[in-house]
Structure 1
Amino acid sequence: MTYEEMKAKYCGANIRRKPKDEEHKIQASCIRWFRLQYPQLRNILFAVPNAARRSARNGAYMKEEGMLSGVADLILLKSNRFYGALCIEMKKPGEYQRAVQKEWQKECEAAGNKYVVVRSLDDFIKVVTDYLNDV
Structure 2
Amino acid sequence: MLYPTHQSESVTQICLFRWAKFMEGQYPELELMYHIPNEGKRSRSAGARMKQEGLKPGVPDVCLPVPRSDYHGLYIEMKVDRNKPTENQKHWLGALKRQGYFTAVCYGWEAASKVILQYLGGRP
TM above 0.5, one fold? yes
The runs of 4+ residues in structure 1 deviating greater than 6 Å are: none
Once the two structures are overlaid, the 10-residue window that deviates more, 37-46 or 67-76, is 37-46
Given that residues 48 and 71 in structure 1 are in contact (C-alpha distance below 8 angstroms), is that contact kept between their aligned partners in structure 2?
yes
CA displacement at 1:43 relative to structure 2: 3.6
- The aligned length equals 116
Given that residues 72 and 101 in structure 1 are in contact (C-alpha distance below 8 angstroms), is that contact kept between their aligned partners in structure 2?
yes
Match of 1:50 among 28, 35, 38: 38
Q: Please, what is the CA RMSD of the aligned residues?
A: 1.7
Consecutive unaligned residues in structure 1, runs of 5 or more: 1-19
Pick 1 or 2: higher relative contact order, CA cutoff 8 A, min separation 6.
Answer: 2
Percent identical pairs in the alignment equals: 28
Consecutive unaligned residues in structure 2, runs of 5 or more: 1-5
CA displacement at 1:123 relative to structure 2: 0.8
- Is 1:107 aligned with 2:95? yes
Match of 2:107 among 108, 112, 119: 119
Give matches, 1:28-47, under 5 Å.
Answer: 28-39=14-25, 40-47=28-35
- TM-score using structure 1 length: 0.79
Q: Quick check: which has more Rg, 1 or 2?
A: 1
- What residue identity is the alignment partner of 2:52? E
Partner SS state of residue 57, structure 1: helix
CA displacement at 1:42 relative to structure 2: 4.3
